[in-house]
């Protein structure tokens, strides 16, 4: 059964503002699942410029699951943007060396580190949303336009605002558990294609019984 090719950079003919993101990533520290797309008003190849303060020597990773939809201008702040907040000054004297590295009580290894940023599967990230370092966004979540996400987002939650707060759960707890067990995003592409009418419907029990 035919389906879009996940290795196709431009899955929409004659529309080069949308890309299957996995095919344009250069950084080994950005890991993207199949069919996750990025749409950009100007140039989707600028995506990595929106992954800010992502320095190789820190080693943190941005992990994006499958079937995510990322809108234009969404930004991911990584751990390289963190500063020490306990000292009187937040200025990073140590990075400039030439004697300063020996006089502050801090070295780079002591800067705040919140781990990898992990976006689940089937997540929709709205226009100009900002994701802060180390945040985990659950499967099926929605991040509203211009939301600033500073803490983990539960599976199938809708978050909005600055700082982002849960404004609604998309399904009740028992339905979310069933969706996570079904994990349709891990099906073969043939099974997904065959069962699209159920994936795009609201009958969770029926989806769980798809063959």
* Catalytic residue chosen out of the listed positions 15, 39, 54, 83: 83
CB-based contact 30:62 (threshold 8 Å): yes
Residue ranges of E strands in the chain: 18-20, 30-32, 37-39, 51-52, 62-64, 69-70, 75-77, 117-119, 124-125, 130-131, 136-137, 142-143, 148-149, 157-160, 165-169
Coil, helix or strand at residue 30: strand
Which H, E and C letters describe 84-100, residue by residue? Answer: CCCCCCCCCHHHHCCCH
Cα–Cα distance measured from residue 18 to residue 146, given in angstroms and rounded to the nearest whole number: 20
Q: Which two tokens stand for residue 23?
A: 């095919």
Check if 83 is active-site.
yes
Letter string b/e over residues 133-162, b meaning 16 or more CB atoms within 10 A of that residue's CB: bbbbbbbbbbbbebbbbbeebbbbbbbbee
* Rounded CA separation 184/52 (Å): 31
Residues involved in catalysis: 83
């Amino acid at each position: 059964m035919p389906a879009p090719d996940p290795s196709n950079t431009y899955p929409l003919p004659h529309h080069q503002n949308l890309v299957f993101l996995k095919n344009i990533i250069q950084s080994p520290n950005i890991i993207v699942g199949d069919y996750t797309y990025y749409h950009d008003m100007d140039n989707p190849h600028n995506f990595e410029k929106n992954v800010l303060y992502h320095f190789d020597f820190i080693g943190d990773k941005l992990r994006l699951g499958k079937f995510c939809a990322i809108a234009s201008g969404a930004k991911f702040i990584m751990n390289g943007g963190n500063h020490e907040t306990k000292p009187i000054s937040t200025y990073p004297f140590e990075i400039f060396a030439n004697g300063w590295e020996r006089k502050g009580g801090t070295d780079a290894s002591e800067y705040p580190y919140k781990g990898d940023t992990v976006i689940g599967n089937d997540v929709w990230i709205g226009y100009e949303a900002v994701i802060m370092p180390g945040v985990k966004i659950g499967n099926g979540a929605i991040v509203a336009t211009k939301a600033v996400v500073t803490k983990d987002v539960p599976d199938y939650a809708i978050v909005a605002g600055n700082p982002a707060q849960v404004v609604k759960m998309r399904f009740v707890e028992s339905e979310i558990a069933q969706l996570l067990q079904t994990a349709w995003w891990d099906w073969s592409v043939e099974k997904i294609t065959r069962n699209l009418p159920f994936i795009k419907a609201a009958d969770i029990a029926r989806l769980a019984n798809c063959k």
